[in-house]
Structure 1
């Protein structure tokens, strides 16, 4: 950082006539006017010493001053126009709410719950007392500091690189979308940016002067900065580091740093506590590399989106900036004169790069970050860029032009994204809360997961409560709702999508069990739901049903489950909750739950990565923890009313392998667990579906929707057909038949159905939507080709729709082999229904096994079967498991033909170091779970390893 050196000239210094100084690599400073003046002959000098030169100089000063004032005025105008048009978002509303409190309460609140120091809130409180607390008023304080930052950047750039650099720095700082956006927020960033550049400017002046006055001012500015924004610490450290280049200032620098340390010491304990609690369970932990990759495009475009690198145009511009800077530095160093300038320019870039590197390094110990945290770095970057643009003369014209083009591209891209609505925008709490207030009536209550917006904007009388909060448990949710919802007529539930604080859907499940959704509105990422509560409804934890200690691998034991006590409607949501005890840690897994009818057809499925009571993912759970995993299972619109099974599973996220399920006494249950049954009732209101063209099937029935698979179907597989019916009048019992017709119209495969299944059509009401799922089994020997899918519908009086074409299906044959493949161990065994095992090959694979089964059917099986393979420890317990249809689901048993060979591979992992004694294999019905038995009456076959462990 170049110090200012004294020169022999008039004490009265005109604007932009500041002599510069150059620091040599040895740390010595020599004074030199920058840019250098031309040497004139003595005669010429005397001739031009008159009024003409003074007039030209004054004219230049007036133009430069006018330009600077115009830039500052435009920057101010850009920041103040439309300042109050957008709503406060979460952080701004939080600032406004905290600033309402007394200074003592502000300090206590910040010390207990915030991740920023308190001075910003104190300043905002003082400002609000004078200007009010509207959006415009509170943001205006940031506009002031943002505008002052433009002037400060011009001052620092002029001192370091000359007047043209000062004007360029003001232009860049004023036009930056990044600095503009965050200078219009009622947060600490604009103030921190101004303090940051003031810290650097004071350090520069203090290093060039003798005496203590400027060092005391620098220490004071640093103290104010650290009590305003913790991320100013890297700026303070960076300024101190580069001031230390002048060794004669080390004593004063050390004393000033000592004063800063003493001033911040009273807050050190609070800082330590807040840093240790500084986590965000909803964002992925960051890394130093990600900090840089995320921050660099944000500084130039104002958009906090790391995916900007995926845009070729943006990525090229982002890469062009450091490349052009490096080229300017390299070309400047080619001359002796340039090497002197190079030192100054290098220092200028180091002043912003070092603090950014320190901010990135912080991610190693505290991996929570957002690009706005680097706000104080941006003005320093633009000062250095301004110096780069005025350096090097003709030799650097091309890289400087490249730099200008890249900056213009990124600035323009960011501004365009903002104005077209695809870029920066603020959550519209104002509209969301006003919608609640407008609809509020006596007996209403509000539940929210984003309270600052409610506190700031809510003007009604309805009480409000933040839910969920930690500890996040279903019982705590029920207690919270009981505290505010008992006796209430309606509950308004306002949420923010970026704070998914109800991942297990505890709160939504209780609201849907207690009432009916009567209102739903979206305001961007904000959602407002209104529930009319059932008369006399109370909130209590859902009653649990024991599961007898069923184990899911070595990871968890299922203790019990619960379902919503209220029947779920067709087209609504069914809720199931499972409580687990954690048996092992470190495995990252997901969980799914689904609704299945008696024929094994699926009618809804929910899948997510579960969280515990502290919102932690499974790798962070502790042995012995109790974890409740909830599933809000969306029920397909048109699902017939009736009884459905609820199944659930846990699976590894890395390879999507389900954990084996065994009973407490070691009996295997497969890779999913049937929890119990729930009841689905008919739709409570007309189901809204996408616009579709209906096909009339007789006078009282219409076919509204048809779903057929888009890809080819292998011979022996199943063609899944979904039909959505609408009753247009009273119906009697209707039946039908779906067929695959070849090119001549002849049926190649068919299946009969009763419309609605167990919810037969005479039970339908006018307007009901009812869905059918039908599976047409493709004969294993059906030739390849395209087939027409058609349906015939009949009533009590005969056929009412002889043939309605639903679409086409592509059937592809399967390559079959009738020659025996290699197998290490022949093992003839039959399981009935045409299933016959010919042999196997068994090898060790890491801690598990690689098992290859070879099947040779004696006939085409009637049903689809799954194959199970269990790794057994010496004590008979299951150490690993794999269940699937043969050949990794590619060769369903309904597609087998007599005499062919089917190769079926299973790779099974076991716990590291677990002993393996035997492998148990068998076959079971995929729909019912019933095992097939061998000729000896056993439902499995045991296979021993070639070299069992000792």
Structure 2
């Protein structure tokens, strides 16, 4: 059907009359790529996401990613049987990536930057197929300007890859619907849908939007509906083992997410864009698209709106899944609608002016994304703590990490990440590491006094900036250290204190 065709009449451009003699085929192909609707938005997104990608310090969730991915393959597979099964595929991917690229902050975040660039390309191509070339190009450029794209393009977590997987699955579905008899196109859609489920089960709510797209396109074409149903069934089935494990672990992993009320359907929008201004601009432009082709508008709206509604409904059971970053994959559909709404004005000057205004309005948020503690709710200077230890370290030093009530700060993992590979110290109160326990958390020595040996110096790393660093430790640990050590130097950093303890003579 023509309603979801790759281009519209208003965007058709007559072919160039070069008589076949304007350069080699390779040169013509290169010019064709440079004129493609996706290339410039994709390059801009990549540049914006890679720029200063290593400056924000890794926060707790990213440290979990690094800690899990840095384990051996066997240890990693054993761990996801107990915890974080829904992220297991991402951890395995990151494990292989780090083996090749390295483990710096830039290295572990680079897949997310690449994924956001890929998602930009898919967004522009979806916009072109639904609303035409100009709308696709505008959608791609709007996508690059939304601050959350940079925020999660700087994140060593799977969310950017999920955005790419869902956008790619939508694009491949549209291609399959163009030629419903082509089994390879349906196979591509099936594989992309399997990737969605393996990366993040919640993102399979995108199927609600896909179902509407198929219904609008196929209408009475029963064979197309059957092909879609079979492809969706196989794609979802691929993630069934992850779903079973994830369901058993959900109470531990996401019990902190509250059950949403009606206001949650509105209040999560600014978080979805990491900018209230961007949310308002994109939503306003999306509304303007309702004067365009009906089926295309309904398709894009379903892709944008149905997943949050489905997730809101299912979050009123035993477990709530309604959280903004789990719905980042709806962003391409929103900017496709916004691109169609903006280009409906038929004025290139107006489109360019609107893009410039959005860029200026969101510039402060883009700048904030690149600050050292941009990823934190409460900043912790792991890098500064590691730098202090490295500067004054001596062979034979040991270390004590605060794993008290604020264990979620992951002081041990954060400092280890920023310490040089060759600088390793005995962890005085560590009984069993997280890797040995096949878990995210370690266990500590039940008898602290017995675990204190004869090290002359111990580094104490605790959360906060209390006047007495010993006070941050559990009582038995503090007493065991006080009995034999005294603090000879203390450095208070953002969210963390480092003290050097010397053995009493």
Quick check: 1:447–1:491 contact (8 Å CA) kept in 2? Answer: no
The question of 1:233 aligning with 2:204 is answered yes
Which consecutive residues of structure 1, in runs of 5 or more, have no partner in the other structure?
6-20, 24-29, 39-47, 309-313, 333-337, 471-475, 498-503, 536-950
Residue of structure 1 equivalent to 2:137: 167
The question of 1:528 aligning with 2:479 is answered no
For 1:169 and 1:78, how far apart are their aligned partners in 2?
16
Quick check: 1:468–1:507 contact (8 Å CA) kept in 2? Answer: no
For 1:63 and 1:217, how far apart are their aligned partners in 2?
23
Residue of structure 2 equivalent to 1:388: 341
The question of 1:216 aligning with 2:187 is answered yes
Deviation at 1:468, TM superposition (A): 13
The question of 1:295 aligning with 2:259 is answered no
Structure (1/2) with the larger strand percentage = 1
The question of 1:507 aligning with 2:474 is answered yes
Pairing 1:601-616 to 2, within 5 Å after superposition:
none
Cα gap change, 1:64/1:460 in structure 2, threshold over 3 Å: closer, same or farther?
Answer: closer
Residue of structure 2 equivalent to 1:269: 244
Residue 444 (structure 1) aligned to one of 398, 402, 417: 398
Cα gap change, 1:527/1:49 in structure 2, threshold over 3 Å: closer, same or farther?
Answer: closer
For 2:16 and 2:228, how far apart are their aligned partners in 1?
45
For 1:293 and 1:488, how far apart are their aligned partners in 2?
56
The question of 1:355 aligning with 2:316 is answered no
Residue 462 (structure 1) aligned to one of 397, 421, 426: 426
Pairing 1:186-201 to 2, within 5 Å after superposition:
186-201=156-171
Quick check: 2:288–2:342 contact (8 Å CA) kept in 1? Answer: no
For 1:510 and 1:368, how far apart are their aligned partners in 2?
38
Cα gap change, 1:374/1:528 in structure 2, threshold over 3 Å: closer, same or farther?
Answer: farther
The question of 1:479 aligning with 2:446 is answered yes
For 1:180 and 1:443, how far apart are their aligned partners in 2?
40
The question of 1:342 aligning with 2:294 is answered yes
Quick check: 2:142–2:355 contact (8 Å CA) kept in 1? Answer: no
Deviation at 1:224, TM superposition (A): 1.8
Quick check: 1:321–1:406 contact (8 Å CA) kept in 2? Answer: no
Quick check: 2:430–2:445 contact (8 Å CA) kept in 1? Answer: no
The question of 1:260 aligning with 2:235 is answered yes
For 2:261 and 2:503, how far apart are their aligned partners in 1?
49
Residue of structure 2 equivalent to 1:83: 53
For 2:121 and 2:161, how far apart are their aligned partners in 1?
14
Quick check: 2:113–2:154 contact (8 Å CA) kept in 1? Answer: yes
Cα gap change, 1:527/1:222 in structure 2, threshold over 3 Å: closer, same or farther?
Answer: farther
For 2:7 and 2:48, how far apart are their aligned partners in 1?
38
Deviations 1:99-119 (A, max 9, x none): 233333222212312263311
For 2:36 and 2:7, how far apart are their aligned partners in 1?
27
Residue of structure 2 equivalent to 1:96: 66
Cα gap change, 1:262/1:114 in structure 2, threshold over 3 Å: closer, same or farther?
Answer: closer
Deviation at 1:322, TM superposition (A): 3.2
Quick check: 2:172–2:189 contact (8 Å CA) kept in 1? Answer: yes
For 2:249 and 2:101, how far apart are their aligned partners in 1?
31
Q: Secondary structure at the match of 1:83?
A: coil
For 1:414 and 1:373, how far apart are their aligned partners in 2?
21
For 1:447 and 1:352, how far apart are their aligned partners in 2?
45
Cα gap change, 1:122/1:32 in structure 2, threshold over 3 Å: closer, same or farther?
Answer: closer
Q: Secondary structure at the match of 2:9?
A: coil
Q: Secondary structure at the match of 2:162?
A: helix
Deviations 1:100-148 (A, max 9, x none): 3333322221231226331112221222222222222222222222222
Larger mean Cα displacement after TM superposition, 361-370 or 106-115: 361-370
Deviations 1:38-70 (A, max 9, x none): 9xxxxxxxxx99959999xx9xx8697178534
For 1:50 and 1:362, how far apart are their aligned partners in 2?
53
Deviations 1:752-781 (A, max 9, x none): xxxxxxxxxxxxxxxxxxxxxxxxxxxxxx
Deviation at 1:404, TM superposition (A): 5.7
Quick check: 1:286–1:367 contact (8 Å CA) kept in 2? Answer: yes
Structure (1/2) with the larger helix percentage = 2
Relative contact order, CA 8 A, sep 6+: which one is greater?
A: 2
Pairing 1:834-853 to 2, within 5 Å after superposition:
none
Cα gap change, 1:225/1:37 in structure 2, threshold over 3 Å: closer, same or farther?
Answer: closer
For 1:270 and 1:221, how far apart are their aligned partners in 2?
21
Deviation at 1:195, TM superposition (A): 0.8
The question of 1:379 aligning with 2:332 is answered yes
Quick check: 1:238–1:354 contact (8 Å CA) kept in 2? Answer: yes
Cα gap change, 1:526/1:214 in structure 2, threshold over 3 Å: closer, same or farther?
Answer: farther
Q: TM-score, normalised by structure 2?
A: 0.77
Pairing 1:16-415 to 2, within 5 Å after superposition:
21-22=2-3, 33-35=8-10, 51=17, 65=35, 69-114=39-84, 116-211=86-181, 212-245=183-216, 246-247=218-219, 248=221, 249-279=224-254, 285=258, 287-289=260-262, 291-300=264-273, 302=274, 314=277, 318-319=279-280, 321-329=282-290, 332=291, 338=292, 341-365=293-317, 366-367=319-320, 370-391=323-344, 393=346, 407-408=358-359, 410-415=361-366
Quick check: 2:69–2:92 contact (8 Å CA) kept in 1? Answer: yes
Residue 494 (structure 1) aligned to one of 436, 442, 461: 461
Quick check: 1:117–1:230 contact (8 Å CA) kept in 2? Answer: no
Deviations 1:606-640 (A, max 9, x none): xxxxxxxxxxxxxxxxxxxxxxxxxxxxxxxxxxx
Which consecutive residues of structure 2, in runs of 5 or more, have no partner in the other structure?
22-27, 435-442, 465-470
Deviation at 1:491, TM superposition (A): 4.8
Quick check: 1:88–1:427 contact (8 Å CA) kept in 2? Answer: no
The question of 1:453 aligning with 2:426 is answered no
For 1:492 and 1:97, how far apart are their aligned partners in 2?
21
Q: Secondary structure at the match of 2:474?
A: helix
Q: Secondary structure at the match of 1:88?
A: coil
Residue of structure 1 equivalent to 2:440: none
For 1:127 and 1:49, how far apart are their aligned partners in 2?
43
Deviation at 1:481, TM superposition (A): 3.1
Please identify the structure whose Cα radius of gyration is greater.
1
Quick check: 1:288–1:363 contact (8 Å CA) kept in 2? Answer: no
Q: Secondary structure at the match of 1:445?
A: strand
> When the two structures are aligned, how many residues end up with a matched partner?
463
Quick check: 1:88–1:430 contact (8 Å CA) kept in 2? Answer: no
Cα gap change, 1:422/1:124 in structure 2, threshold over 3 Å: closer, same or farther?
Answer: closer
The question of 1:432 aligning with 2:385 is answered yes
Cα gap change, 1:382/1:506 in structure 2, threshold over 3 Å: closer, same or farther?
Answer: same
For 2:271 and 2:304, how far apart are their aligned partners in 1?
15
Deviations 1:73-114 (A, max 9, x none): 332222223333443332223222322333332222123122
For 2:15 and 2:213, how far apart are their aligned partners in 1?
40
